Amino acid sequence: MKDKIACFIRTYLFPTETFIYEAIRNIKNFTVVVLACNLINTHLFPYHEIISPPRVSKQLPFFGKLLERIFFARVIKEKSVKLIHAWYGWSGIMILPVCKKLGLPLITSFHGLDVSRLPRHFFYRRKLFSLFKRGDLFLTRSFFMRDEVIRLGCPPEKVLVHYGGIDVSRFKLKEKTRAREIKILMCGRMVEKKGFNYGILAFSRISRKYPRARMIIVGDGKLRQPLEKLVLSFNLQDKVEFSGFLPHHEVEKKMREADIFLAPSVTARNQDKEGIPNVIKEAMACGLPVVSTYHAGIPEIVRDGETGFLVPERDVNLLAERLDYLLSHPEIWTEIGMKARELIWRKFNLFTQTQELEKIYSRFIK
C-alpha cells in the first residue's frame, strides 16, 4: 500500500495555478489527498479527493482558523497521512500547528510574493520566522528565490531548489511557415510585475518598421484598462489584440501560432517578484525565442543569446532592440527555439521534476 501525503493549499485553485494541479496529479508513488480552506474552479481542476472544512468555520471570524485546524487535524489522523506539503508560505504558516501537534513532517513550497512582497509586513514576517524554525524543508522555484529565503532567516540546509516542470509533450513545436503576420505574444495576469506596459512601449517603437508584426496579449487583471489606454495612445489598436483570460488549451494554441514570446517582468513597487513564470517554460517548449529581463529566476531558464535574450528591467530601448534584432533575423528563430525546447526537456520536465519531488517526500517518511 502506498504511503499517503496531504497537499495543503489555502485556496484550491486559481486559474494561474496549473503548475500545482499538474504536480499533484502526476505523483504516482504516493496517495495524495488535497486539503483546502476554500474551493474554487474545481471544474477546471477536478481531483478525486479534495477535502474542505464546512462553511460554518468560515463564518466565525475569531474562531474560524482554530476550527479549520481542528477539522484538518481530524482528517489527517483519519486518513493516516504521513507528510504534509504546503503550497505557498501562508499555507505553511496555517498548517504548521497541526503538523507539530500530530508529529508530522512539513514541507513548504514558495512561489513568489510569499517571499518577495508579503515579508514586508511585520505579522507575516514573524510567522515566517516561526515556520523556518519549526518546518522541516522548504522548496523554492529558483536559486534566486533560495537566496531570498535564506536572507529572510531560513537555515540554508533546510532549503532546496525544486524548479517544477511542464508536460513538454503537450507543447508542439511551432511550424515554420511564411505567415502573413508575425505574432509577438505576451501572456499572464495583468499585474505590475508582468511589465506588460514596457512590452507595449517596446512594440510601439518597432511597429512602423515591421508593418506585418502584431502583438497578442493573453490574460486579464486590474491593469487591463490602463494597458488598453496605452495601446490607444500610440494608435496601435489595429496591431495589438487583447485576448482576455483563456483556458490553458487555448493558451497552448496561441503559443503554437506565435513567433516570439515577450516576458518583460519587473520588480513591482511593492517588491512583488516572479519565481520562474510557467508561461516562459511553455513558450520555450513550443520552440519560441524568448525576450525577457534579468529578473528573479528568469536568467536560470532564459540564457542570453542562446535560448533567448535578456535585458535589464524596465529598459524599453533594449527590449525594442532585441525585438528588432529577432524580427530582422528570422533565420535564427529555429536554432534558438530548438535550444530552448531541449533545455526544457532536460531541466524543467514535469515527470522528471515530479520524480525528484517524490524522492524528497521519501526522505521524511519513516
- The whole-number pLDDT of residue 60 equals 59
Neighbours of 273 (CB within 10 A): 21
Where do the DSSP E strands lie in the chain? 4-12, 31-39, 50-51, 81-87, 106-109, 137-140, 159-161, 182-187, 213-218, 240-244, 260-263, 290-293, 308-311
Distance of alpha carbon 90 from the chain centroid: 16
Q: How confident is the model at residue 279 (pLDDT cuts 50, 70, 90)?
A: very high
pLDDT digits (tens, 9 = 90+) for 287-296: 999 999 999 9
- CB-based contacts of 181, cutoff 8 Å, min separation 6: 212, 213, 214
- Rounded Cα–Cα distance for residues 72 and 34 (Å): 11
Q: Mapping DSSP to helix (H, G, I), strand (E, B) and coil, where does residue 254 land?
A: helix
pLDDT digits (tens, 9 = 90+) for 134-153: 999 999 999 999 999 999 99
- The whole-number pLDDT of residue 173 equals 81
Question: Which residues are paired to 218 by β-bridges?
Answer: 187, 244
DSSP string covering 161-204: E----B-GGGSPPPP----SSEEEEEES--SGGG-HHHHHHHHH
Q: Which three cell numbers stand for residue 114?
A: 510569499
- The whole-number pLDDT of residue 180 equals 76
Which residue carries 517518511 as its cell?
Answer: 365
- The whole-number pLDDT of residue 78 equals 97
- CB-based contacts of 83, cutoff 8 Å, min separation 6: 3, 5, 6, 104, 105, 106, 107, 361, 364, 365
- The whole-number pLDDT of residue 264 equals 98
pLDDT digits (tens, 9 = 90+) for 28-74: 999 999 999 999 999 999 999 999 998 755 555 657 788 899 999 99
In the chain, what's the furthest Cα-to-Cα distance? 66
- Rounded Cα–Cα distance for residues 117 and 90 (Å): 12
CA distances from 38 to 13, 19, 54, 234 (A): 9, 18, 10, 42
Report if pTM > 0.85.
yes
Neighbours of 233 (CB within 10 A): 10
For residue 177, pLDDT over 90 is answered with no
